[in-house]
Amino acid sequence: MDGVSKYFDAGNTVANYQLNLEVEDGEFLVILGPSGCGKTTALRLIAGLEQPSEGAIYFDDERVDGRSPSERNVAMVFQNYALYPHMTVAQNIGYPLKVRGVSPDDRDQKVATVTELLHIEDQVDKKPAALSGGQRQRVALARAIVREPSVFLLDEPLSNLDAKLRQEMRIELKRLQNELAITTVYVTHNQEEAMSMADTVVVMNRGTIQQIAPPQELYKRPRTAWVARFIGSPPMNLFRGTRRNGSIDLGEAGTVELPGKIDADEAVVETAGQDDASTASVVANSARDDVAVGVRPEDLTVSTTRPSSGNVIEGRVETVEPMGEYILLNVFVNDQIVNAKLSEWTVEKDERVYLTFDDDDAYLYDDGGELVA
């Protein structure tokens, strides 16, 4: 996608804005974002179900926007996939081949291969009504795969399934995609799904791409404060602060030093100055001193006595929630709720606590929400 925008309602709704995105051959790419951020529209543009308002879409080096879906050889599976109720599983799967005029023998052969691949070979004579939700989902996938599309487009295909089945299908889909090495674009608002299946995740918000990165990098280096707050469960804590005399003043929560990070912030200003003097003065004179310090819940250490050194934030325990593999603390720091994960139950509600963290585990975001260091 090269500078692709899509507007609806005579330009009043911006569903996608200037998307630049490249999907490699055989890659499993996941578009992740909150409801209404433009994921489905992006997928429909790739499929040819919508045409871009601006920009171009290429498959390999060929420009495809303007072409119909059938000219693009894509297969799309939606959340509300429809199977023909009066046809058997085998007939449902073979239908796209029949439409194309593939001979019955070849059709049977292809249907047999794909049903085996999806472990539904013993269901082929049943009608859809006699199948479980997960089996129906597999039939829909089989019907898409049997066409041997060059691109596989999936829109929340697992959202109708219960948690256990979803987990199973995630593994199954990933295995299939690996085996078939088929270029796949998968849309979801579920970050676990995105993180577990994707080679690359595209995070979208309000029609724009926020970050494109492999799952681990997305978690380890969220490029904006928005992505930092979107990824992780619970997400990263962000403390608003002001840079003052080489440290960061977090108001009543305390003061932290973060020497390496503050230096990096200054370096950004200097580099800008070398390129363009006017940019430097704008940057230096703006609200550059307003920053946010981010720390993930698992990187906070909690103690009931004030540590004598390090980055210390003071708060009061609001709730203690046993989550099974960890204890989740909600701590009131000023008027902000901060999440911390503990391995053992060591504090109680209303207790005064001190949250500490290493410099290396902190993220510094500028007032525009961009990662500084």
The residues binding ligand ATP (CB under 6 A) are 8-9, 13, 15, 33, 35-41, 189
Least Å from the CB of residue 48 to ligand ATP: 15
The sign of the CA dihedral 276, 281, 287, 292 is positive
Phi, psi of 284 (to 5 degrees): -65, -30
d(CA 297, CA 331): 11
CB of 81 to ligand ATP, least distance (A): 15
Q: Of the two residues 9 and 105, which places its CB atom closer to ligand ATP in the complex? A: 9
Residue 50 or 299: the one with the smaller Cβ distance to ligand ATP is 50
Specify the residue, 5 or 123, whose C-beta has the smaller distance to ligand ATP: 5
Q: What is the DSSP string of 82-125?
A: ---TTS-HHHHHHHHHHHTT--HHHHHHHHHHHHHHTT-GGGTT
Q: Whose CA is closest to 202, among 236, 159, 232, 231? A: 231
Whether residue 110 contacts residue 97, with contact meaning beta carbons closer than 8 Å, is answered with: yes
Least spacing, CB of residue 143 vs ligand ATP, in Å: 22
- Judged by beta carbon, residue 170 or residue 189, the one nearer ligand ATP is 189
Name 135's Cβ contacts closer than 8 Å, sequence gap at least 6: 120, 123
The Cα–Cα gap between 330 and 148 comes to 50
Comparing CB distances to ligand ATP, the nearer of 39 and 138 is 39
